A and B are shown apart, each in its own frame.
Chain A
Amino acid sequence: MAFVTANWNPLGEAFYRKIELYEMGWNLKDGLRECLVAAAPYGGPISLLKGHNRRSPSDRPQLEIYSSSGLPLASFPWKSGVVKQLGWTVSDDLLCVQEDGTVLVYDLLGGFKRHFSMGNEVSQSQVLETKIFHSPYGTGVAILTGALRFTLATNIDDIKLRRLPEVPGLQGAPSCWAVLTQDRQSKVLVANGSHLFILDNTACTPVTPPGLSPQASSIVHMCVSFSYKYLALLTDSGHVWMGTSNLKEKLSEVDTKIKTPPKQMAWYGTLLLFPSAVVMWDGLLIVVGECKETIQYHLDDDSILVPELDGVRIISGTHHELLQEVPGACEEIFKIASMAPGALLLEAHKEYEKESQKADEYLREIKEQSLLSEAVRQCVEAAGHEHEPETQKTLLRAASFGKCFLSNFPPEQFVSMCRDLRVLNAVRDYTVGIPLTHTQFKQMTVQVLIDRLVYRKLYPLAIEICRYLKTPEYQGVSRVLKHWACYKVQQKEESDEVIAKAVSVKLADAAGISYSEIATKAYESGRTELAIKLLEFEPRSGEQVPLLLKMKKSPLALSKAIESGDTDLVYTVVMYLKNELNRGDFFMMLRNQPVALSLYKQFCKHQEQDTLKDLFNQDDDHEELGNLYVKASYKDQRLEARIALLQSAVDEYYKAKNEFSAKTTEDEMRLLRFQRLTGLWLHNNLQCTLSIQKSFLPQTFDQKCTLLFMIKTKNHNKYCCLSHRDMEGAAEAAIERRNESEISTVLSRCSATTDHLLMERLNRAKATAVKK
């Protein structure tokens, strides 16, 4: 504790500190010498390619991937072409850019993923230099070709190659260049001697940094900050110019007094009060800031710089260090003789632990200025920026102590800091090797951290973290388990049963697991049986269907579609089957699935009437066939055709043992035939029978039936305007039938004057009818 400030160095108004993150676990014979090295930001993995210039097949270079703590993740001999540059994507994939412009993508465990080309022009003129950069659109690759032209792809997941305009007067490789993102566009900044150009899609614009010292005749190095906001230029006169990347504003210019070209230069992050840059030469590191002074560190070993959001990591053959500006809260608390509230609170707590009454004095001092809540906040914040768990604990204990004397102090900050630190300490652990600072962690979010752990296949830790942070299962535990399962199903050495069991046991309680995704993975690795087994666990039937179809498990797909209740899905499968199977098999399959069958019938009703007939035929559904003919009869305009169709209907109805329908249909046919005779279109049976003169009726037509209608109309004169002749007919019919009530009805209709004779006949008939 006493030595917290031991590694602090002042620069202007700020302090800088160098923290040792790890002693590297790797065992490199020659350190980083003659290696291509790439380290991913946010404490990501490190890749090394030893002897990348070797071309002989007997002596291949070795590609190695390590965690930030130097633990090996992968190692394999490089068998492809000459690699010019290594780099990491935002999702922890390794990019290897070859001389011919081919980019190979590996995952961080060395698994080959894919490759893509940077275009013909690049492969013809070869890669001279290349830079891998991150933009809001993803990870990009910029290439300077042997023809001294730049080719750019802003997002390697959606490659759109852009060839930038020519740089005027460029004779050989430019002294230095960088990619920056401005106005949602990636541009290249090139220095040719003392001239600076900005290249965008359309133009090459010369620019001049304001206030660049006149002694410089050439810009030898440049770097852009993490957020593309700032730019640093190093001139051959040893001056470092710092300003905004739009070249509108100069921040400062510092003379390093070293005129040899540096190995690397990096920005210090832009979250800080005083933007500053680091320049590295062999064995020397210089920090330059706003003031004229510099801090110098000596390096024992070949090192590389990894710019971060809030500092620079220095990786050497043996050590891994973080160089950063001392965060405000830490400075307030630990600065020698600080009287800041946080410092006093820390002191108060120390005294309290010693059971000394001085604790009270310190506390009073803070409270008198009403700064206790500020003090607590400072301690909590500082704890977040400290690397040593012991220091973190001391600060948090002090904060907790201070909190006791505050009422209504919101606990969230304290609680979430404790949680965050627990997670951070876990991932910083040597065995995991992700040295994130709290600031980086907040910027990257838990989600991404979980992803990174998943890429490293650290599933248990990822799950523990999700559980501990109470991440909603859907985005947390379930997601990790899904990744685990996807990995598991690719393990060739285990049997389907074992894997399916292992997966189901582990995922049983997890909510919202997409088994179909896992099954797809299994299917892709050629394990259809396993895929089917896994699909069984998928609760969303809808999700199962496409894969089942892909695997040609159509009966299963159909029943799953039906299970889902989504009729559209059922239709989709049915249509698929219709095209896949021969008609007989197709119908057979539908027969076993009544839901699908009735849906298909609906489809046919609107789209394929003929198929419908086949379906009914197959099922011997004579009733429906009859209905179908009836419907068709109405579509046909020709009378003969209609009658023929109705006859078919009648046959079907008889087969269906539906006497009623058959008889009614026969009546209809008779009526139609009659129409043919009279040439009248009869829209309505009753009306027509009433309107037709009896004498027109052919003998074949059922007179009685017709006349009965008339009688049925009973008391409703207006609907039954029987003509005189009709009346006679009605009477005849009634008499013939010897039905008393019908006779009476006709009688009641007769007028005494005109129908005298008829009435007599009716009365007689009635009398006989009554007697009977």
Chain B
Amino acid sequence: MASHLFCGRVNLNILREAARKDLREFLDKCSGSKAIVWDEYLTGPFGLIAQYSLLKEHEVEKMFTLKAGRIPSAAVKNIVFFVRPRLELMDIIAENVASEDKLQPRDVHILFVPRRSLLCEQRLKEKGVLNSFTNIDEYILDLIPYDGDLLSMESESSFRECYLENDQTSLYHAAKGLMNLQALYGTIPQIFGKGECARHVANMMLRMKREFAGSQTQILPVFDTLLLLDRNVDLLTPLATQLTYEGLIDEIFGITNGYVKLPPEKFAQKKQGEGGKELPTEPKKLQLNSAEELYAEIRDKNFNAVGAALSKKAKIISAAFEERHNAKTVGEIKQFVSQLPHMQAARSSLANHTSIAELIKDITTSEDFFDSLTVEQEFMTGVDTDKVSTYIEDCIAQKDPLIKILRLVCMQSVCNNGLKQKVLDYYKKEILQTYGYKHILTLKNLEKVGLLKPQSTMRNNYPTIRKTLKLWMEDANEQNPNDISYVYSGYAPLSVRLTQVLARPGWRSIEEVLKMLPGPHFEERQQVPTGLHKKRQPGENRTTLVFFLGGVTYAEIAALRFLSNMEDSGTEYIIAATKLINGTSWIKSLMDSPEENLP
């Protein structure tokens, strides 16, 4: 069921099991048949913890989406609301509860994810329904195990809240999540961090540790180091187009909660004798994680190396199928047959990924993609970042998707440490005149978070950062990479470079650059109870948890995995993030474009 969680250095299934146990306990608290009313946003994250079968085992018979009005009728004993603590949701719940049939009372329960909220309970009280609830509980779901080495809070708007709205709720949850993680995996002795949010999270963690002093768990620490990184330390990376296989899938089709929806045409089952059957119209939904052997192998490769890997795999599989001709004795045939399911799974997986690769290839080989990538790379190498880019101008004129434009403009601004006022105003004007005045607020948002900014009197320090941290590698090897820069075919993500330098030779060597990046950098140590100090075997790697506050991209994950697998790296990385993002979803989360409300 969750085999992908076992494979990593750290068994993240412990976390998943703990979460499942809590869920079961809560469900059993509401004895009898029940219907769950879902805050729609939660269904995705919950899918990573428990399938419907688990709910069904605990007498969940119906599931509804939370919406105003009445709850659809269902012959159940209990109604359970699974919601985030949001006031607007409380209003809906109050309405739901108030319109419950008074003659056939059902037990109503509420489960807050990830935490109870006094504010929400107060609201329910004001609405006069607080006493209608038999159970009010919280389901602490901060860090959700996503893959063998990956945890996500699946908190969509975390970056926006922290940097735009100055609402640090998600950081509080992150700190709580880290405490929870430490309860299961032991105290993390070393904490490093860079950025305001990182500092805030670390402060909260240290405070919470003091608060829980005396009730420490006696667990041998699994993680040696925690690195907290603010997304705004590295605004550039998510803007660039990811060039790993998984990164491109996300860029083009979007991966949500570990699933991707693909256009169905390529996946039509071509069976003999069924020709002419109409093509499926439903998008093809695929789960993507390391449980799938082939996917685990190719996900982090540069897309240009995927073709070769697929064809190699194809040869191996067909060779394996050919084996049947060599199988002479009954025993041999039996052995062949026993391997058949595995082989068939491998074959269908190969077919799927070949189709996906084809879909991606159609796009990556297009002129548009090439042009856009060229401009991105020019920006990243510092070419003409101070002038209006004719390419961007053209794109606006052609009315290319707004987000694409915003990504490029922001990238230019970031790579130039701000744009000249004239250039900035020109872009803004162009965008507003082409895409509509309503985007003015979006532009302001981008300015507020620092993605777009006028050049200050300060020198552009991006070239220095680029050179010191070797962010641009001319000779990136896409097929057999020797550096993390392969994930963007030349650009080495700043965030991952910082991580790499921290492990070796340490941040002291880059003090100057760190000072140029926003926010403080720091190191904290947490006392590990005596007797729980890890005795490292010679050659045993350190384990570092890298937590991206504000989101992480698949390409960054790929780069960290690459570092983990490097022969002499000495460190293995587990990755945590508030959310898995890409440039598009990230910019989208910052947009504020009111829908025109016209007759």
Interface residues in chain A, defined as those with a beta carbon under 8 Å from any beta carbon in chain B: 472-474, 478, 510-512, 539-541, 563-569, 571-572, 575, 594-595, 598-599, 601-603, 606-607, 623, 627, 630-631, 634-637, 660-661, 664-665, 667-668, 671, 681, 683-686, 709, 712-714, 716, 719
What separation, in Å, do the CA atoms of A606 and B165 have in the docked complex? 13
- Given contact pairs A539-B213, A660-B428, A685-B434, A627 touches B444 in the complex (Cβ within 8 A): yes
- How many contacting A-B pairs (Cβ < 8 A)? 127
Q: A607 near B87 (CB under 8 angstroms)? A: yes
Contact surface of B with A, Cβ cutoff 8 Å: 85, 87-88, 115-119, 122, 165-169, 171-172, 175, 200, 203-204, 207, 210-215, 393-394, 397-399, 425, 428-429, 432-438, 440-441, 444, 592, 594-599
Contact A631 B441 (CB under 8 A): yes
Q: How far is the CA of A601 from the CA of B161 in the complex (A)?
A: 12
The CA-CA distance from A510 to B398 in the complex, in Å, is 69
Further pairs besides A671-B437, A684-B434, A686-B434: 16, Cβ < 8 Å: A473-B214, A511-B215, A540-B211, A565-B200, A569-B118, A599-B167, A603-B87, A631-B592, A661-B444, A664-B432, A664-B437, A668-B437, A684-B436, A685-B437, A714-B394, A716-B398
Determine the chain A residues whose CB is within 8 A of the CB of B592 once the complex forms: 631
Interface of A is mostly: helix
Q: Which residues of A contact B85 (CB under 8 A)?
A: 568
Task: Please report the C-alpha to C-alpha distance between residue A637 and residue B595 in the assembled complex, in whole angstroms.
Answer: 12
Contacting pair B438 A634 (CB below 8 A): yes
- The contact sample of 17 A-B pairs, CB cut-off 8 A, is A472-B215, A474-B215, A511-B213, A565-B175, A565-B203, A565-B207, A568-B118, A575-B119, A602-B167, A606-B87, A606-B88, A623-B444, A630-B440, A634-B438, A671-B437, A681-B598, A716-B397
Asked if residues B594 and A665 are in contact (CB atoms below 8 Å), the reply is: no
A646 to chain B, nearest CB (A): 9
Q: Is the CB of B436 within 8 A of A637?
A: no
Given contacts A575-B122, A684-B436, A686-B434, contact A634 B596 (CB under 8 A): yes
Shortest 10 CB-CB distances between A and B: which pairs? A511-B214, A512-B214, A598-B166, A634-B594, A511-B213, A474-B214, A668-B437, A567-B169, A540-B211, A565-B204
Instruction: Tell me how far the C-beta of A395 lies from the nearest C-beta in chain B, rounded to whole angstroms.
Output: 33
Chain B residues closer than 8 Å to A713, beta-carbon distance:
397
What is the minimal beta-carbon distance from A598 to any residue of chain B, in angstroms? 4
**In the complex, A660→B425 CA distance in Å?**
7
- Closest-by-CB residue of B relative to A576 is B122
Chain B residues near A599 (CB, 8 Å)? Answer: 166-167
Judge whether B437 and A571 touch: CB under 8 Å.
no
The one of B207, B438, B594 that contacts A539, using a Cβ cutoff of 8 Å: B207
A485 to B133, CA, bound (A): 38
Main secondary structure of the interface of B (DSSP, over half): helix
In the bound complex, do residue B399 and residue A472 qualify as a contact, i.e. CB atoms below 8 Å apart? no
A566 partner residues in chain B, CB cutoff 8 A: 172
CA distance A545 to B90 in the complex (A): 24
**Nearest B residue (CB) for A473:** B214
CA distance A607 to B88 in the complex (A): 8
Contact A572 B118 (CB under 8 A): yes
B594 to chain A, nearest CB (A): 4
Instruction: Indicate if the CB atoms of A683 and B596 lie closer than 8 Å.
Output: yes
Q: How far is the CB of A691 from chain B (nearest CB, A)?
A: 14
- Which residues of chain B come closer than 8 Å to A571, judged between CB atoms? 117-119
| A636, A667, A712, A716 interface centre (most CB from chain B within 10 Å) | A712
Given contacts A567-B169, A714-B397, contact A478 B211 (CB under 8 A): no
Smallest CB–CB gap between A594 and chain B, Å? 7
A601 to B175, CA, bound (A): 24
Are A598 and B165 interface neighbours, CB within 8 A? yes
Q: CB distance A565 to B399 under 8 Å?
A: no
- Neighbouring B residues of A637 by C-beta, 8 Å: 597-599
Assess whether B211 is in contact with A539, with CB atoms less than 8 Å apart: yes
Q: Does B597 contact A634, Cβ atoms closer than 8 Å?
A: yes
Looking across the interface, which residue of chain B has its beta carbon closest to that of A689?
B433
Contacts of B435 in A (CB 8 A): 684
* A572 and B167 contacting across the interface, CB-CB below 8 Å: no
The docked-state distance in angstroms from the alpha carbon of A595 to that of B595 is 30
| Interface pair A594/B166, CB less than 8 Å apart | yes
Report B-chain residues with C-beta under 8 Å of the C-beta of A569: 118
Contacts of B425 in A (CB 8 A): 660
A630 → chain B closest CB, angstroms: 6
Min CB distance, A139 to chain B, in Å?
A: 28
What's the least CB distance linking B172 to chain A, in Å? 5
* Smallest beta-carbon distance A404→chain B, Å: 29
Residues of chain B within 8 A of A664, CB atoms compared: 428-429, 432, 437, 440
Given A566-B172, A602-B167, A631-B441, A709 contacting B433 (CB threshold 8 A):
yes
CB of B214, distance to nearest CB on chain A (Å): 3
CA separation between A599 and B169, bound complex, in Å? 9
CB distance from B419 to the nearest CB of A (A): 13
A residues less than 8 Å from B169 (CB atoms) = 567-568
How near does chain A come to B166, taking the closest CB pair, in angstroms?
Answer: 4
A602 CA / B167 CA spacing, docked (Å): 8
Are A568 and B119 closer than 8 Å at their CB atoms?
Answer: yes
Complexed CA–CA distance, A713 and B429 (Å): 15
Nearest B residue to A635 via CB reads B597
With both chains docked as a complex, state the minimum distance between the C-beta of A635 and any C-beta of chain B, in angstroms. 6
Contact across chains for A665 and B122 when beta carbons are under 8 A apart: no
Rounded to whole Å, the gap between the CB of A706 and the closest CB of chain B is 10
Given the contacts A664-B437, A709-B433, A714-B397, A567 and B596 also touching, CB distance less than 8 Å: no
Give Cα distance in the complex from A569 to B597, angstroms: 36
The CA-CA distance from A296 to B435 in the complex, in Å, is: 106
Which residue of A510, A623, A683, A712 contacts B436 across the interface (Cβ within 8 Å)? A683
Q: Which residues of the other chain, B, contact A665 by a CB distance below 8 angstroms?
A: 437, 440
- B88 contacts A595, CB within 8 Å? no
B212 (CB) vs chain A CBs: closest residue = A512
**Are A472 and B214 in contact, with the CB atoms below 8 A?**
yes
For B203, what are the chain A residues with a Cβ–Cβ distance below 8 Å? 565
Cβ-defined contact, B166 with A685, below 8 A: no
Contact B213 A595 (CB under 8 A): no
**B430 closest partner in A (C-beta):** A712
Bound CA span A716–B211, Å: 65
Q: How far is the CA of A698 from the CA of B595 in the complex (A)?
A: 28
The docked-state distance in angstroms from the alpha carbon of A671 to that of B85 is 42
Complex Cα distance, B204 from A539, in Å, reads 11
Contacts of A473 in B (CB 8 A): 214
Q: Are B436 and A685 in contact (CB under 8 A)?
A: yes
The answer for the CA separation of A652 and B207 in the assembled complex, in Å, is 43
By beta carbon, the residue of chain A nearest B117 is A568
**Chain B nearest Cβ from A130, distance in angstroms:** 37
Residues of A within 8 A of B437 (CB): 664-665, 667-668, 671, 685
Bound CA span A684–B436, Å:
6
Given contacts A539-B207, A565-B171, A631-B441, is CB(A686)–CB(B433) below 8 Å?
yes
CA distance in complex: A709, B397 (Å): 9
Given A664-B429, A716-B397, also A565-B213 (CB < 8 A): no
Shortest CB distance B593–A (Å)? 9
Q: Closest approach, in angstroms, between the C-beta of B394 and any C-beta of chain A?
A: 7
Complex contacts, B210 vs chain A, CB 8 Å: 539
Given A472-B214, A664-B432, A719-B118 contact (CB < 8 Å): no
CB-defined contacts of B88 to chain A, threshold 8 Å: 606
A563 to B175, CA, bound (A): 14
> Chain B: which residue is nearest A633 at the CB level?
B594
A565 touches B122 (CB 8 A): no
How many angstroms from the CA of A568 to the CA of B117 in the assembled complex? Answer: 6
Residue of B nearest to A686 (CB): B434
A712-B397, A716-B398 known; A565 vs B214 contact (CB < 8 Å): no
CB neighbours (8 Å) of B595 from chain A are 634
Assuming the contacts A637-B599, A660-B428, asked whether A572 and B440 have C-beta atoms less than 8 A apart, the reply is: no
Q: How far is the CA of A571 from the CA of B441 in the complex (A)?
A: 26
- In the complex, which of the residues B116, B200, B394, B595 has the most CB atoms of chain A within 10 Å of its own CB atom? B394
Chain B residue, CB-CB nearest to A511: B214
Q: Which of B165, B441, B596, B597 contacts A630 (CB 8 A)?
A: B441
CB atoms of B214 and A602 under 8 A apart: no
Residues of chain B with a CB closer than 8 A to A684's CB: 434-436
